[in-house]
């Protein structure tokens, strides 16, 4: 299984829509929904996970699992029950966010310092979510170091999590390479539930190394698939070839991307404030140019444009300089 990672401020419902139309991923996780001391209204969940109005799936039919972030077990449980009732395959819990502001308020990776609290949170959420729906979790290897990695994973398992995504870095490591995939194998030796490897998977070779080092076949893709939207298909093509099967889809070349840039811009234009619209397409092109040389010219052309109408005109007339 290949899972599309959540990335606040980048990989939100807009890119989830476009990347799942391109294909190659089997499931998505939403960016985190912050839970503090209140039961959030349905409109808050819908704002971050509009796919809940579509049976919990993207336009292309890929399931999206809402992710909650917080530290109060009962409040998280109440909110998990509400979002589960809105229609999704399950609820994910965030124990990996390294952002200082999030950690200061007792959320994300700071909780990895307290395995007992992890257990209490997952147990409360599991009791609140119908048995037919999954409760999963995402964690890092630890906060300042990885000494609690196994204890945290065991706590999540004991609380009732049925799957754990492990970002193979600590909070202190942030997003600096490398990802310590062999540490996932250490965790895998201790827990019985499925694990998913995450971190620094930029290409097929990275995917194969992550699998070999972690012992996990299932992967979560983040910046790598934003940079190369065909990464999921490329990994699946390798897997098919290993079984003597033809590739499930052709390589995603730059020539196939302009229609998806159009779709991306249409969604952004309908949901993002006008002053932030140009930044969103430039942000994606900035990632794309790391993989596609042709994206460099597109990025250079749009880099100084601040008027959405000019970007619309460019897309309509050329879409590819």
> Any idea which residues carry the catalytic annotation?
97
Tokens 């897309």 locate to 315
DSSP helix/strand/coil, 296: helix
Cβ(266)–Cβ(245) below 8 Å: no
231-242 helix and 204-214 helix, angle to the nearest 10 degrees: 60
Q: Are 125 and 76 in contact (CB under 8 A)?
A: yes
Task: Look up residue 185 and give its two tokens.
Answer: 């194998």
SS3 145: coil
- Please write down the long-range contacts of 233-242, taking CB distance under 8 Å and 24 or more positions apart: 233/22, 233/23, 233/24, 234/24, 234/203, 234/204, 235/2, 235/24, 235/204, 235/207, 236/2, 236/24, 238/204, 238/207, 238/208
Whether 90 and 65 have beta carbons less than 8 Å apart is answered as: yes
């Amino acid at each position: 299984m290949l899972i599309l990672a959540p990335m606040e401020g980048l990989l939100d419902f807009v890119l989830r829509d476009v990347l799942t139309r391109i294909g190659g991923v089997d499931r998505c996780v939403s960016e985190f929904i912050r839970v503090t001391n209140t039961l959030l209204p349905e409109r808050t969940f819908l704002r971050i996970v509009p796919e809940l109005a579509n049976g919990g799936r993207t336009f292309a039919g890929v399931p999206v699992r809402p992710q909650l972030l917080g530290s109060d077990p009962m409040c998280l449980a109440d909110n998990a029950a509400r979002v589960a009732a809105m229609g999704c395959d399950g609820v994910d819990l965030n124990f990996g966010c390294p952002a200082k502001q999030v950690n200061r308020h007792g959320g994300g990776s700071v909780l990895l310092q307290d395995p007992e609290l992890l257990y209490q949170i997952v147990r409360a959420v599991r009791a609140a979510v119908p048995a037919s729906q999954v409760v999963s979790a995402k964690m890092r290897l630890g906060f300042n170091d990885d000494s609690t990695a196994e204890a945290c994973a065991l706590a999540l398992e004991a609380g009732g999590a049925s799957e754990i995504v492990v970002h193979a870095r600590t909070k202190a490591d942030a997003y600096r390479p490398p990802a310590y995939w062999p540490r996932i194998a250490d965790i895998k030796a201790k827990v019985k539930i499925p694990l998913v490897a995450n971190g620094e998977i930029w290409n097929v070779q990275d995917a194969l190394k992550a699998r070999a080092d972690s012992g996990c076949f299932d992967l979560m893709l983040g910046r790598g698939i934003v940079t190369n939207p065909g990464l999921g298909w490329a990994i699946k093509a390798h897997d098919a070839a290993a079984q003597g099967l033809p590739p499930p889809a052709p390589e995603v070349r730059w020539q196939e991307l302009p229609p998806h840039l159009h779709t991306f811009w249409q969604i952004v234009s309908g949901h993002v404030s006008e002053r932030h619209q140009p930044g969103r397409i430039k942000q994606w092109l900035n990632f794309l140019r790391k993989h596609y040389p042709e994206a460099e010219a597109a990025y250079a052309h749009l880099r100084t444009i601040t008027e959405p109408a000019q970007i619309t005109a460019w897309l309509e007339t050329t879409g590819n300089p």
